[in-house]
């Protein structure tokens, strides 16, 4: 008379079957990473705490900094979960003998659904927060204190200061060339509207300390507003490959007191740098076409 055992489900009782719980060490490492990143600040003196970003210099940097930190948190969470599960699988289900073979399956529907749904969720979350940050960065100011027309052309920058009290409303400008980069002056604590124009090809107006850049497109005027929040001298760049001397298309950004700003505009007026130069051609004309971009 033999001993009869209840039916045995080899797959259900197989000790090698993958567990359903996330390894504890993955949870701990993820929480630790989030705690460390939560200590980051855009004004920190340590570049590690700023996650390699420069020290912020405008009132529009919060949205971009939060998006930057949030992106790093998401990347670390995904990395720790995936890498942790990989290591757990390697150790937990490593081959222990020549005769031992892991359970073979043709597909696993829950895992395949996860692989499809999880990336869609991640992309959707990133898209939502990117659009929100973009809207915050591009929000307009009612009646900005200053208006500056930025002209990006091959391969220099021209900055026209418009409707300034210091010059009795007469427009003045700063300009330069690749061998002598242009200086732009901005008053700290006062709002500025930038109007971006190009007479030739697409450029991109970028001041890294502002955490922001915007394309300068022929036939189209792009605008944005911001308020510089700290004095200093920074380097601006063209962030769009625009031709032979693209790498030399830089400019110097001087954020100064309102008094020094007015004094600089008076110097430009006295030096005869009066008017609104727009590059080699009219900045609203699309290169290669006779039609005006605004009319076509």
What's the CA gap between 84 and 90, in Å, rounded?
A: 10
Q: Is residue 40 part of a domain?
A: yes
70-79, 123-132, 254-263, 266-275: which has the minimum mean pLDDT? 70-79
Best CA proximity match to 266, nearest among 166, 169, 154: 166
Q: Which residues of 85-94 are buried (b: 16+ CB within 10 A; e: fewer)?
A: eeebeeeeee
Average pLDDT value for residue range 41-57: 68
* 88 and 152 together in one domain: no
Token pair of 133, please? 């940050």
**Same domain membership, residue 72 and residue 41:** yes
Q: Which of 48-57, 104-113, 280-289 has the highest mean pLDDT?
A: 104-113
Q: Are 182 and 176 in contact (CB under 8 A)?
A: yes
- Domain-embedded: residue 46: yes
Give 78-111 pLDDT, tens digit per residue. Answer: 888 888 888 888 888 777 777 777 677 777 888 8
Range from 83-92, 122-131, 151-160, 198-207 carrying the lowest mean pLDDT: 83-92
Give the SS3 label for residue 15: coil
Taking residues 160-184, report their average pLDDT: 90
CA angle 223–69–213, rounded 5-degree value: 20
The predicted structure's pLDDT at residue 226: 94
pLDDT score recorded for residue 3: 45
Determine, yes or no, domain membership for 99: no
What's the first-to-final CA gap in the chain, in angstroms? 98
The more confidently predicted of residues 262 and 289 is 262
Does residue 171 form part of some domain? yes
Mean pLDDT of the chain: 81
**Which of 107-111, 138-142, 163-167 comes out lowest in average pLDDT?**
107-111
In terms of domains, do 151 and 266 share one? yes
Distance of alpha carbon 277 from alpha carbon 175, whole angstroms: 9
Residues 156 and 251 in one domain: yes
Instruction: Flag whether 291 is in a domain.
Output: no
Instruction: Tell me if 256 is assigned to some domain.
Output: yes
Q: In terms of domains, do 208 and 265 share one?
A: yes
Nearest to 208 by CA among 238, 249, 244: 238
Is pLDDT of 57 > 70?
Answer: yes
- Range from 132-146, 233-247, 276-290 carrying the lowest mean pLDDT: 276-290
Interior angle at CA 273, CA 272 and CA 274, nearest 5: 90
Q: What number is the average pLDDT over the span 159-175?
A: 91
Same domain, 72 and 152: no
Q: Which residue has the higher pLDDT, 179 or 263?
A: 263
Residue 283 lies in a domain: no
User: Which of 47-56, 71-80, 200-209, 278-287 is predicted most confidently?
Assistant: 200-209
CATH number, residue 156? 2.60.40.420
How many domains is the chain partitioned into structurally? 2
Task: Answer yes or no: is pLDDT of 264 > 60.
Answer: yes
Question: Are 172 and 242 found together in one domain?
Answer: yes
Residue from 175, 117, 124, 167 nearest 149 by CA: 175
Look at residue 295 in the predicted model and tell me its pLDDT: 42
Q: Based on the fold, state whether residues 67 and 86 are members of the same structural domain.
A: yes
Residues 159 and 110 in one domain: no
Please indicate, yes or no, whether residues 133 and 150 belong to a single structural domain of this protein.
no
Pick the more confident residue, 18 or 70: 70
Question: What three-state secondary structure class fits 226?
Answer: strand
For residue 160, the enclosing domain spans 146-270
Q: Which of 137, 161, 190 is the last residue of a domain?
A: 137
Q: Return the percent helix, strand and coil in the chain, to nearest 5.
A: 35, 25, 45
Identify the band that residue 49 occupies on the pLDDT scale cut at 50, 70 and 90. low
pLDDT value of position 18 = 45
How far is it between the farthest Cα atoms of the chain?
Answer: 116
Q: Do 198 and 131 have their domain in common?
A: no
- Report how far residue 56's alpha carbon sits from residue 192's, in angstroms, rounded to the nearest whole number: 16
Q: Determine the pLDDT at residue 176.
A: 86
Considering the domain architecture, whether residues 113 and 211 belong to the same structural domain is answered as no
* pLDDT value, residue 13: 41
Does residue 286 lie in a domain region?
Answer: no
Q: What's the confidence (pLDDT) of residue 90? A: 84
Question: Within 13 Å and on the Cβ side, how many CA atoms surround 139?
Answer: 12
């Amino acid at each position: 008379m033999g001993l009869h055992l209840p039916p045995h489900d080899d797959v259900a009782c197989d000790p090698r079957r993958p567990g359903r719980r996330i390894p504890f060490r993955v949870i701990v490492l993820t929480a630790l990473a989030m705690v460390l990143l939560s200590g980051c600040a855009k004004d920190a003196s340590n570049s590690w705490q700023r996650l390699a970003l420069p020290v912020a210099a405008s009132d529009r940097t919060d949205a971009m900094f939060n998006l930057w930190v949030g992106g790093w948190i998401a990347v670390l969470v995904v990395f720790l979960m995936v890498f942790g599960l990989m290591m757990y699988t390697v150790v937990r289900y490593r081959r222990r003998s020549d005769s031992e073979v892991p359970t073979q399956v043709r597909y696993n529907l829950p895992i395949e659904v996860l692989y499809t749904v999880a990336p869609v969720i991640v992309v959707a979350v990133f898209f939502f927060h990117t659009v929100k940050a973009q809207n915050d960065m591009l929000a307009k100011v009612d009646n900005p204190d200053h208006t500056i027309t930025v002209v990006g052309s091959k391969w220099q920058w021209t900055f026209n200061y418009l409707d300034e009290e210091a010059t009795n409303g007469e427009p003045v400008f700063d300009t330069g060339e690749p061998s002598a980069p242009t200086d732009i002056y901005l008053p700290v604590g006062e709002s500025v509207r930038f109007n971006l124009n190009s007479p030739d090809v697409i450029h991109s107006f970028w001041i890294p300390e502002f955490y922001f850049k915007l394309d300068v497109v022929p036939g189209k005027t792009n605008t944005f507003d911001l308020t510089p929040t700290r004095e200093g001298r920074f380097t601006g760049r063209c962030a769009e490959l625009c031709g032979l001397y693209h790498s030399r298309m830089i400019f110097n950004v001087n954020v100064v007191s309102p008094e020094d700003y007015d004094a600089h505009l008076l110097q430009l007026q006295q030096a005869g740098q009066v008017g609104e130069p727009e590059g080699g051609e009219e900045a609203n004309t699309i290169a290669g076409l006779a039609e005006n971009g605004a009319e076509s």
